[in-house]
Amino acid sequence: MFGIFRFLLASMVAISHLTSGYYLFSYYGFYAVFGFYCVSGYLMTSVLQKVYGYDSKGSANFWINRLLRIFPSYYVVALTAFLIISIFPRDAVLYTPAYKISSQIIDVLGNVLLFPFEFYQPKFRLIPPSWSIGVELLAYFLLWLFISRSKYRAIATFILSLGYVGYAYWAALTWSDRYFPLSAALLPFSIGAMIYYFLPEIKNFFYKLPRWMILLSILLLLTHLIVAEKIPWYPLGAGFYVNLILMAFVVAQLAVLESGNDLVKRVDAFLGNLSYPLFLTHSLVGFVVSLIFTPHLQYGLSLLAFSYPLTIIASILISKYIDEPIQIFRVRRRNRNLARNAPPEFIKS
C-alpha cells in the first residue's frame, strides 16, 4: 500500500504548490516531503538489508538502480521545462522565481546532479521542488554508509537528529533551517530505518489493535493536515512534528499491512508509479496552464482544478514511455542481486 500513500503525498505537494499558500493547503507540501523521507528511510533500509547488501557488487547495483529510478524522468521533465521557460522567460519568472535561468556553473551542476542543491542556496531550479530530491540522494548515501546497517546505528541517528531539532529551537534557527537541510531530513529518514528494524514489535502491536483504531489514526492524520498551524495555541512549528509522528504511524501500519486482493495491488502499483512523475511535472504543467489562461488564471483553486488532471495525464505518459522500459532493466538487476543475497525462502515468497 505504499504506492497509494506515495501518490497521496505527491498530490499534497502538487496541491500546495499550485494553490500557493491557499488557507487550507499552505502546509501540505512541507508535511508531505517529510512523509516521503520517512517512507524512503524504511524502503531503502529494507532493500539494502534484504536485496543488495553492502558489498561492492551489491552497493553498485543499489546505486545503479536508484539513479535509473531518479534521473531519466527528471531529465525529460527538466529539459522540457528549460525549453518552455526559454521561450517565455518573463512569464516564467512571474510564475515562480525558481524559473529565472542562470548559467553559473554551480546552478548548472545543481540542476544536472541535484545533490549540489544541498550545499548552496539554489535560486534557479528547472523543477522547483527538486532540491528535496538532492536531499534524498545524500540521505541514500548516509543510509548506505551508516544508518541502515544496524538497528543501533538507526537509533543513534534518530537521537542525533532529535538533538538537532532541540538545538534549532534553542538557537532560534529559522524555519528553513529546520526543514530544508539534510541535517533536518535525517529525522524522518532515521525514523523510517527504525520502523524496519522494529518491525516484529510493530506487528505485535498492530495485530492487537482493533481495525477501527487503525482507521481512526489515518482519519486523525487527515484532520491534522487541515487544522495544523491554524490553532492559535500551537507552539511554533509543533504541528509539523506532530504531523511527522502521525506520518510515521501510518508508515508503520503500511509496513505490516498485507493485501491479498489483486485489484488493490494493481491500483497500488499504478498510483505508486505515478507519484514521482506527478512530483516532477506539476509545477511545469501549472505554468503552461497559466500561460494559456493568463491573465485570468493565477495560483489558487482554479489553477489547481485545471492543472491537476493534466498533471495526472502527463504522469501516466512518463510512467508508460519512460519509467516502464527502464523498470524492466531495474527489476532484472534487482532480481539477480536478490538471488545472490537472499535465502531461498525469501526468494520464493
Q: What is the mean pLDDT of residues 241-256?
A: 89
The 10s digit of each residue's pLDDT in 309-347 is 999 999 999 999 999 999 887 777 777 776 666 554 443
Sole residue written with cell 486482493: 261
- DSSP 3-state assignment of 289? helix
- Do 277 and 323 touch, CB atoms closer than 8 A? yes
pLDDT over 70 percentage in the chain? 88
> What is the spatial distance between Cα 15 and Cα 304, in angstroms, rounded to a whole number?
7
- Do 125 and 117 touch, CB atoms closer than 8 A? yes
Q: What is the mean pLDDT of residues 99-118?
A: 96
Other beta carbons within 10 angstroms of residue 317's beta carbon come to 12
Task: Calculate the alpha carbon distances from 194 to 63, 199, 335 in Å.
Answer: 22, 8, 25
- pTM above threshold 0.75: yes
pLDDT of residue 349: 29
On the CB side of 282, how many CA atoms lie within 13 Å of its CA? 28
The 10s digit of each residue's pLDDT in 295-317 is 666 778 888 999 999 999 999 99
> What is the spatial distance between Cα 139 and Cα 121, in angstroms, rounded to a whole number?
18
Going by C-alpha positions, the residue among 147, 139, 188 that lies closest to residue 35 is: 188
Locate the domains of the chain by residue range.
2-331
pLDDT of residue 341: 64
